Amino acid sequence: MKILIIGTGYVGATTAMVFAEIGWQVTGLDIDAGKIERLRQGRLHFYEPGLEELISKHVQSGRLRFTTDKETAIAGHDVIFLCVGTPSRPDGSADLSYIQQAAEDIGRSMNGYKLVVTKSTVPVGTQEQIKSWMKAAQRQPSHFDVASNPEFLREGKAVEDALRPDRIVIGTDSTRATEQLQTLYRSFTCPWIVTKPRTAELIKYASNSFLATKISYMNELARLCDKLEVNVKEVAEGMGLDPRIGSSFLQAGLGYGGSCFPKDVSELIMTSRKHEANLHILDQVVEVNHTQFAYLLDKARSRLGGFAHKSIAILGLAFKPDTDDIREAPALRMIDQLLLEQANVRLFDPVAPLPVRPSYGVVTVCSSAEEALRSAEAIILCTEWPEFGQLDWEGAKALLAEPNFFDGRNMMDAGRMRGFGYYYQGIGNDH
Ligand code: UDX
């Protein structure tokens, strides 16, 4: 079986690498000639630890190829994975135009049986839609199957997650498709779920929304912890020892960002409304997430007596460490509000660049954390990059105009920071 991956973004590039790594012949297809040119040289267009090395290895071994030639690529491959983007529309629903385009391209260019597999996160019912888009575009009738095989990898851990998944979910109504996918993934030993396409599609949304719910629950609980003078980290530790709860995704902080959680929670809310079975709980998950940055900012504002003309060091911009992704990053909300209140913002992130926007012209982008701290009246830590933990905080105090530290990720040890003479506050761990 020769595998074609349509879309060489985050999920597409990782999926291509995985199949090449386990021995298959893979082609990556994209309409962006620039991306394809870089990939042909074994270079990635985004930051992901370890991925570029493996892509480059398989470009050299000849197992991984890249092209912009749709028609030839579709005609020459038996199994086609859809890994194109499904961005949010302004109303929160998923925009399926790239999926539709790919389905129509396949329908038009197919010359025999094809198995089309959706890796992109798509709303429940999309498998049926893909079938009808393909059918409508066909020039001559030809048999095909469409399966759903959602991807659960995390940014920053893509290689590890994709090579060692904790489950493989396959949604299909065809035995032939199931058998082909079982062959493709035969070297994986993790649990499998073979189910209806709609179930597979919903598993992805339900998983991400559940994880987002865990985070918002802890974030709201952290606000209560502040009032009760209880440390939320200790509460999380005690909760996490119960295997029914699990210890992951219990870290309170500035809230979740990234390309998946915000988008997937919105889409599931839309789906639930459409079917008049509202998931009200998710409205509150979103509300807590949107207000969490303001919760920490309020603490800083009352300490400083307002932000106007105060110098504030922002440490971290990426929505989480080990990525340059700033989509829906809480740090951006923080910066926007600080600028609105006329603060002087000094920013440092080891990897993520500040987007070009007229309002960001006044932000001082620094090349080290120490530089960002210089003469600052407060530090607001937004991303828990490991290097921030290793900084000589005792020595760094001398760089600051005022030693105020607001820890948006509860990264530091409160007692230690206070011992160094900082006024230190986190989220639910101020005691
Ligand atoms: C997520 C899912 O984990 C993954 O399975 C899916 O395929 C895509 O969406 P990702 O967006 O890469 O992955 O990031 P993840 O590591 O899950 O973190 C998401 C956000 O939640 C980050 O902003 C992170 O800082 C935040 N988070 C995570 C918390 O605030 N607290 C936690 O305890 C865990």
pLDDT classification of 431: cutoffs 50, 70, 90: low
- State the average pLDDT over residues 130-139: 97
What ligand 1 atom has the least distance to the C-alpha of 259? Answer: 11
CATH of 204-283, one of 3.40.630.30, 3.40.190.10, 1.10.1040.10, 2.30.110.10: 1.10.1040.10
Binding-site residue positions for substrate: 152-155, 204, 249-253, 257, 320
Question: Is 2-195's fold the same as 293-425's?
Answer: yes
| Residue 367 vs residues 171, 344, 364, 374: alpha-carbon distances, Å | 47, 17, 10, 12
What are the tens digits of pLDDT across the range 252-297?
A: 999 999 989 999 999 999 999 999 999 999 999 999 999 999 999 9
**One-character DSSP codes across 219-271:** HHHHHHHHHHT--HHHHHHHHHTSTTT-STT---SS---SSSHHHHHHHHHHH
CATH of 293-425, one of 3.30.9.10, 3.50.50.60, 3.40.50.720, 2.60.120.650: 3.40.50.720
What are the tens digits of pLDDT across the range 90-127?
A: 988 889 999 999 999 999 999 899 999 999 999 999 99
pLDDT classification of 430: cutoffs 50, 70, 90: confident
Give the strands of the sheet with 311-315, arranged side by side: 364-365, 344-348, 311-315, 378-381, 404-407, 423-425
Q: In this structure, are residues 85 and 120 in contact, taking their beta carbons and an 8 Å threshold?
A: yes
Q: How many angstroms separate the CA atoms of 55 and 40, rounded? A: 9
Tokens of 190: 């993790």
Binding-site residue positions: 30, 35, 86, 121, 152-155, 204, 249-253, 257, 263, 320, 327
Residue 406's DSSP bridge partners are 380, 425
| Residue 418 vs residues 384, 395, 414, 424, 428: alpha-carbon distances, Å | 19, 14, 6, 6, 16
What are the tens digits of pLDDT across the range 145-185?
A: 999 999 999 999 999 999 999 999 999 999 999 999 999 99
Helices (H), 124-196: 126-137, 158-163, 175-184
Q: Nearest 5 degrees, angle CA 142-CA 144-CA 148?
A: 160
Name the residue of 11, 168, 215, 264 to mutate for ligand 1: max ligand atoms within 8 A of Cβ.
215
- Name which of 66, 75, 11 is nearest 34 in CA terms: 66
Res 429: pLDDT: 86
| Distance from Cα 258 to the centre of ligand 1, integer Å | 7
Domain covering 2-195 in this structure, CATH number: 3.40.50.720
Tokens of 96: 């399926």
How many CA atoms lie within 13 Å of 402's alpha carbon, on the beta-carbon side?
A: 16
Atom 17 in ligand 1: residue holding the nearest Cα: 154
How many CA atoms lie within 13 Å of 188's alpha carbon, on the beta-carbon side?
A: 21
Neighbour tally for 44: CB within 10 Å: 18
Atom 26 in ligand 1: residue holding the nearest Cα: 256
What are the residue ranges spanned by the domains of the chain? Answer: 2-195, 204-283, 293-425
Q: Write the secondary structure of 59-121 as one string of H (helix), E (strand) and C (coil).
A: HHHCCEEEECCHHHHHHCCCEEEECCCCCECCCCCECCHHHHHHHHHHHHHCCCCEEEEECCC
Name the residue of 15, 168, 211 to mutate for ligand 1: max ligand atoms within 8 A of Cβ.
211
Tokens of 338: 């600080």
What are the tens digits of pLDDT across the range 285-306?
A: 999 999 999 999 999 999 999 9
Residue owning tokens 């948006």: 408
Q: Nearest 5 degrees, angle CA 135-CA 137-CA 140?
A: 75
| Distance from Cα 76 to the centre of ligand 1, integer Å | 37
- Give the single-character DSSP code of 355: P
Residue 148's DSSP bridge partners are 118, 171
Residue type, 287: E
What ligand 1 atom has the least distance to the C-alpha of 207? Answer: 5
Q: How many angstroms separate the CA atoms of 95 and 229, rounded? A: 45
- State the average pLDDT over residues 213-224: 98
Tokens of 306: 């307002």
DSSP H/E element including 222: helix 197-228
DSSP H/E element including 219: helix 197-228
Residue owning tokens 């309020």: 298
CA dihedral sign, ordered 400, 405, 406, 408: positive
- Judge whether 83 counts as a catalytic residue: no
- Name which of 74, 147, 76 is nearest 108 in CA terms: 74
What are the tens digits of pLDDT across the range 10-27?
A: 999 999 999 999 999 999
The yes-or-no verdict on residue 88 having pLDDT over 90 is no
Q: How many angstroms separate the CA atoms of 268 and 287, rounded? A: 15
pLDDT above 70 coverage of the chain, percent: 100
Residues with CB under 6 A from ligand 1: 151-155, 208, 211, 215, 249-251, 253, 256-258, 260-261, 319-320
Res 49: pLDDT: 93
Buried b (16+ CB within 10 A) or exposed e, 190-212: eeeebbebbebbbbbbeebbebb
Q: How many angstroms separate the CA atoms of 360 and 46, rounded? A: 22
Res 228: pLDDT: 96
Q: Which of 25-39, 82-96, 290-304, 313-327 has the lowest mean pLDDT?
A: 82-96
Q: Which of 45-49, 338-342, 364-368, 373-377 has the lowest mean pLDDT?
A: 45-49
Residues with Cβ within 8 Å of 209's Cβ and at least 6 positions away in sequence, in order, are: 264, 265, 268, 279, 282, 285
What are the tens digits of pLDDT across the range 365-421?
A: 999 999 999 999 999 999 999 999 999 999 999 999 999 999 999 999 999 999 999
DSSP H/E element including 54: helix 51-61
How many CA atoms lie within 13 Å of 206's alpha carbon, on the beta-carbon side?
A: 7
What ligand 1 atom has the least distance to the C-alpha of 253? Answer: 30
